[in-house]
């Protein structure tokens, strides 16, 4: 939504400095400012960020007037709040028509809430329940007996298998598969050892699941993702895993079966966690770590096998010096 800088200043209860007639089209980082876009700046951001950017009709939301820029100045205490307001104002919104597309296949005895949207070529199985204001985009497959809460967004290519339950305000990005078969279904010598999958997957409220992620269901233990957790793209979560509230899991990580991730845990990208592992509350696991034993509360670990991060860093320093150390050893040996 385009708006003149002077009207934006009024909307944000800020004081205008510079040309109020400039048309603002969106929001950009101060690292990549652009004409007709507004950027956030405060006095704690190094002045170097502004070098070479003056006199280019760049606009700033700031707590202090900056010479050479068109500024909306707000109180320092409300700067973060106003920045968030700006981000929401210029958010790229994905509009979608309400109702059921004529090409969608809808099963028997389903329960649809108010203002539900179901896109083209989507299949919804029997006995499915969908809450109010939920959007199911085109080319989604929802198996029978799935429950979907209110205000959810299910993007194209997602598969929701039987036994999956989604809480309110859940968003699942494109091509994720929820409730798929886990590794419990192994091989015998002659055939697949197919065990019945009696446990489902519960995704609690306000959860985001990234594109191409996989969350498995198991034979007897439910797989659970707690309230407010965010799972990045291409993450694999095996059968019976329990993930607590407000956890963050970065892309390409994998969690083996029956592991327990406590609340507010942060897991970096490309992390591997062994089966039946406990990760304590507010623990941090650095990217590319391999976790094969318990991680305690508030513990920070790195490496493979994962160690306390500072200890791991010291080891890495020593490893890098090994060629130099080896040359010194050879010189000493030659003199003996």
**Phi, psi of 327, rounded to the nearest 5 degrees:** -65, -40
Strand order in the sheet with 164-166: 111-112, 129-130, 147-148, 164-166, 201-203, 223-225, 242-243, 260-261, 278-279
Residue 140 near residue 125 (C-beta atoms within 8 A): no
Assess whether 101 carries a catalytic annotation: no
CA distances from 50 to 19, 23, 39 (A): 19, 21, 11
- What is the distance between the alpha carbons of residues 113 and 100, in angstroms, rounded to a whole number? 12
Annotated catalytic residue, options 70, 121, 155, 239:
239
Closest to 122 measured CA to CA, from 71, 156, 168: 156
Whether the bond into 305 is cis, omega within 30 of 0? yes
Q: Which residues contact 178 (CB under 8 A, 6 or more apart)?
A: 158, 159, 160, 161, 164, 172, 201, 203, 209, 214, 215
- What is the distance between the alpha carbons of residues 315 and 333, in angstroms, rounded to a whole number? 25
Please list the active-site residues.
Answer: 239
């Amino acid at each position: 939504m385009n708006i003149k800088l002077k009207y934006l200043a009024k909307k944000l209860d800020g004081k205008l400095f510079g040309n109020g007639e400039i048309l603002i089209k969106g929001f950009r980082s101060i690292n990549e400012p652009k004409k007709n876009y507004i950027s956030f700046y405060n006095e704690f951001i190094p002045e170097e960020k502004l070098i070479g950017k003056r006199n280019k009709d760049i606009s700033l939301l700031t707590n202090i007037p900056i010479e050479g820029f068109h500024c909306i100045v707000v109180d320092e205490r409300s700067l973060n709040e106003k920045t968030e307001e700006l981000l929401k104002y210029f958010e790229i919104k994905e509009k979608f028509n309400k109702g059921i597309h004529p090409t969608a296949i809808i099963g028997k005895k389903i329960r649809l809430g108010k203002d539900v949207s179901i896109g083209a070529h989507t299949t919804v199985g029997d006995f499915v329940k969908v809450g109010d204001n939920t959007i199911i985009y085109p080319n989604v497959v929802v198996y029978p007996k799935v429950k979907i809460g209110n205000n959810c967004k299910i993007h194209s290519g997602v598969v929701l298998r039987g036994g999956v339950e989604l809480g309110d305000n859940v968003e699942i990005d494109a091509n994720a598969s929820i409730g798929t078969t886990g590794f419990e279904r192994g091989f015998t010598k002659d055939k697949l050892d197919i065990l019945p999958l009696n446990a489902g997957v519960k995704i609690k409220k306000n959860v985001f699941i990234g594109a191409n992620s996989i969350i498995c269901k198991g034979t007897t233990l439910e797989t659970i993702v707690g309230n407010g957790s965010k799972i990045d793209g291409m993450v694999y979560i095996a059968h019976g895993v329990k993930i607590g509230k407000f956890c963050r899991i970065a892309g390409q990580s994998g969690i083996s079966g029956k592991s327990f991730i406590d609340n507010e845990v942060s897991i970096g990208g490309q992390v591997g966690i062994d089966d039946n592992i406990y990760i304590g509350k507010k623990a941090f696991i650095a990217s590319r770590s391999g976790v094969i034993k318990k991680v305690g509360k508030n513990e920070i670990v790195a490496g493979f096998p994962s160690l306390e991060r500072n200890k791991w860093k010291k080891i890495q320093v020593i490893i890098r010096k090994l060629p130099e150390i080896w040359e010194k050893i050879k010189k000493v040996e030659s003199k003996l």
